[in-house]
Amino acid sequence: MKKIKLIILLLFSIVLVSCGQSNIEVFQFATHEIELKVDDEAALDLIYGEYSQDSEVKYSMSKTGIVTLQDNLVTALAVGQVVIKATIDEIKYASIIIIVKQEDLIAMEIKSETNYFPTEGTMQLTVKVVPNTVSDDVVWSLEGDESSIAEISENGLLTINDASNPAKIIVVATSKYATTMLCKKAFYIKNEPTSSISIKAKDGIAEINGGGTVEFIVTASPETSLENYVIKSSKPEVFFLESETKFKAITKEELQRTEVVVITCTSWDGVEATIRVLIKK
């Protein structure tokens, strides 16, 4: 029995020694993989194992054009993946994968001299990107069907063909570098954009009984925003437009219950103002 135990202990010791020697002799990179972005740098950390620290290391790459390698310093050049191998005696090799990823596009903005066209004309648009190290190439387009009013060229030249009526168009720039990223900018034709719009009851009272009426006053800046505005009731079956800015409620007998109605005034370019009216049964 003692003999068996001694044999087991001896075998166990041999295994431990072998494992210890294996750990000492490992020649490898400190990490299996490194991720970089274009222009990033990284130092390759090599574990020499049984070799001397001052041994000459020979490096090779699976492909060129992705990174450069100077001594143990890697510089990312282009998006892609490359395997770098290292050897001292051309018997044992260590390898590491370098992955170069595209730099993230954080933000983009359409730049122009102005966003207002009082008459027909052209304007060159550009795009500012963040960071400025990524490509600012974009695909230009107009949101919706505005071909009869305006057009935009491949290089961002916006042309207004018809300024006879107030109109709002949306220009879209979609990044070629990061195709899920886009930005938009509104341009206004004939009339300047609405800076403010408001609506209030003419007599200051927005609470009536069934059958009553309320006349509203709409103000806007600039005054041209009062052209072609739309005024609507959220419940036209209860409180309906009688004339221009005057609304009338159905009679008490017709009312099922007290109602709250929202009146919305919308300018020609989509700016809104609202007021609530209480209609009591």
Nearest to 58 by CA among 32, 88, 30: 88
pLDDT tens digits, one per residue of 261-278: 999 999 999 999 999 999
Rounded Cα–Cα distance for residues 43 and 246 (Å) = 76
**For residue 109, which phi and psi values (nearest 5 degrees)?**
-150, 135
CA 60, distance to chain mean position in Å, is 39
In our burial notation (b when 16+ CB lie closer than 10 A, e otherwise), range 15-30 reads eeeeeeeeeeeebbbe
Q: Which residues contact 25 (CB under 8 A, 6 or more apart)?
A: 49, 50
Mean per-residue pLDDT of the chain: 90
Q: CATH number for the domain including 129?
A: 2.60.40.1080
pLDDT value for 227: 87
pLDDT value for 40: 92
Domain membership flag for residue 181: yes
In which order are the strands placed within the sheet that holds 259-266? 207-209, 272-280, 259-266, 230-233
Domain membership flag for residue 269: yes
Rounded Cα–Cα distance for residues 94 and 91 (Å) = 10
pLDDT of 136 higher than 80: yes
pLDDT tens digits, one per residue of 86-103: 999 999 999 999 999 988
Domain membership flag for residue 9: no
Asked whether residue 153 falls in the same domain as residue 204, the answer is no
Domain containing 90 equals 28-101
Straight-line distance from the first to the last Cα atom of the chain, in angstroms, rounded to the nearest whole number: 104
pLDDT of 6 higher than 50: no
Q: Which helix (H) or strand (E) element contains residue 14?
A: helix 2-25
- Which of 72, 101, 130 lies at the terminal end of a domain, its last residue? 101
pLDDT of 9 higher than 50: no
Asked whether residue 208 falls in the same domain as residue 275, the answer is yes
Rounded Cα–Cα distance for residues 250 and 242 (Å) = 11
Measured from the Cβ of residue 135, the count of other Cβ atoms closer than 10 Å reads: 13
Find the angle CA(13)-CA(17)-CA(22) to the nearest 5 degrees: 145
Rounded Cα–Cα distance for residues 109 and 97 (Å) = 36
- Which of 189, 214, 238 lies at the terminal end of a domain, its last residue? 189
Q: 23-32, 44-53, 262-271: lowest mean pLDDT where?
A: 23-32
pLDDT value for 133: 83
Domain membership flag for residue 8: no
Give the percent of the chain with pLDDT over 90: 81
Domain membership flag for residue 16: no
pLDDT tens digits, one per residue of 140-184: 999 988 778 999 999 999 999 999 999 999 999 999 999 999 999
- Cβ burial of 91 (10 Å; 0-12, 13-18, 19+) is exposed
Percentage helix, strand, coil for the chain under 3-state DSSP, each rounded to 5:
10, 50, 40
Structure tokens at 199: 């609506």
pLDDT tens digits, one per residue of 208-254: 999 999 999 999 999 999 988 999 999 999 999 999 999 999 999 99
Q: Which helix (H) or strand (E) element contains residue 15?
A: helix 2-25
| DSSP strands (E only) in 72-212 | 73-76, 80-87, 93-101, 107-111, 116-117, 121-124, 126-130, 138-142, 150-152, 157-160, 167-175, 182-189, 196-201, 207-209
- Which of 122, 155, 189 lies at the terminal end of a domain, its last residue? 189
pLDDT value for 25: 64
Asked whether residue 239 falls in the same domain as residue 217, the answer is yes
pLDDT value for 12: 47
Rounded Cα–Cα distance for residues 158 and 100 (Å) = 37
Instruction: Confirm if 243 and 234 have CB atoms less than 8 A apart.
Output: no
pTM equals 0.67
Question: How many domains is the chain built from?
Answer: 3
